[in-house]
Amino acid sequence: MARFMDLRAFILRTRVLKLYRQALRIIHRAPEHTQDELRKTTRAEFEKYRHFDDKQKIRFLISEGKQRLKGLDELLDMTGNS
């Protein structure tokens, strides 16, 4: 039987997937020799919390992920990788 999620869970899932896609886009700007490791690390972080049901914790993790991506994006800008 298929498991249906409520609207809030669906919206959180959408936000998580959006964050993951943003991470992959930013990683694509990184130097080639670091991209594979960044992808693996990012995937591992998302997989680690894949089955979390605590919506408050998920919102916190999304916020933390955005901050980390912002830092990586700024670092890549400073090093001239655009």
Number of domains composing the chain:
1
**23 within domain boundaries:** yes
Residue 81 is predicted with a pLDDT of: 78
Q: 26: how many CB neighbours lie within 10 A of its CB?
A: 18
Structural domain containing residue 62: 7-80
Whether the per-residue pLDDT at 82 is higher than 80: the answer is: no
How far apart are alpha carbons 42 and 38 in whole angstroms? 6
* 2 in a structural domain: no
Rg, the chain, Cα only: 14
pLDDT, tens only, 29-56: 999 999 999 999 999 999 999 998 899 9
Q: Is pLDDT of 1 > 60? A: no
Q: Could you tell me if residue 30 is inside a domain?
A: yes
| Among the listed residues 16, 39, 19, 17, the one whose alpha carbon sits nearest the alpha carbon of residue 29 | 39
Instruction: For residue 43, tell me if it sits in a domain.
Output: yes
Residue 1 lies in a domain: no
Q: What's the N-to-C CA distance of the chain in angstroms?
A: 46
Quick one: tokens of 22?
């943003």
